Amino acid sequence: MIIPCIDLMDGKVVQLVQGRDKALEGEAPLEMLRKFAAFPEIQVIDLDAAMGKGDNSNIVELLATKAECRVGGGVRTADRARHLVDLGAHRVIVGTAAFTPALQEIAKAVGPERILVAVDSKHGKIVVKGWQEATDFTAEEVVARLEPYCSGFLCTYVDKEGMLQGTDLNWFRRLRAATNHELTAAGGITTIEEIRELTSLNIHCALGMAIYTGRLNLEELAHV
């Protein structure tokens, strides 16, 4: 499955490079949703909430009531997870909190079936807090112990995020070997060939920069 991404900052649809530098702005959120109408699920990330700089809840609600959305950004408490589900989120993406005791409370609040855990890797280690802080462990080491609290993993190869240089297929192969849970790949996916390879591994693809810059054609992607 191909999952287009809508990342929100200051009320606008944006694309960042490695979670830091804004590279471009997309069209209005509802216009992006219209463009993505052929795809069964949309990924919505509230970057302001992730970075602790406010939130875009009104836009999240608008999108989640019009499409099946997996929503992330600042999901660090059970209340925040419940709030996103109440807004209409199909599933919530838990990043930083997945590596704290809060994950158990979040899973209790909304159910593991509604949770995707974000395992984001930079220089080989999981990074948290908007990719600003590194941990001491690798994604391959932790996915098995997180399985009871989620229905899948969103795995971002941060080293190539937003750079249109391709991704690390070997990292995704190692992750696929580490868990039977649903996996979604993100970070640097640039070509149809990469998408086909990931699909052959039974890994979904979350796409951002390659779509927004026209490197990948939406019409072609709808038939992959």
Nearest alpha carbon to residue 89 among 128, 42, 48: 42
pTM of this structure = 0.93
β-pair type (115-122, 91-94)? parallel
Each residue's pLDDT, cut to its tens digit, for the chain (224 residues) gives 999 999 999 999 999 887 777 889 999 999 999 999 999 999 999 999 988 889 999 999 999 999 999 999 989 999 999 999 998 999 999 998 999 999 999 999 999 999 999 999 888 888 887 777 777 889 999 999 999 999 999 999 988 776 678 899 999 999 999 999 999 999 999 999 999 999 999 999 999 999 999 999 898 898 88
For the chain, domain boundaries: 2-221
Helix (H, G, I), strand (E, B) or coil at 73: coil
Query: Residue 130 in 3-state DSSP?
Result: coil
Q: According to the model, what pLDDT value does residue 126 have?
A: 85
Antiparallel, parallel or unpaired: β 2-9 and 12-17:
antiparallel
Residue 142: which of 132, 128, 129 has the closest Cα?
Answer: 128
Rg (the chain; Cα; Å):
16
- Report, as residue numbers or ranges, the catalytic residues: 7, 120
Among residues 8, 97, 93, the alpha carbon closest in space to that of 57 is found at 8
The CATH code that applies to domain 2-221 is: 3.20.20.70
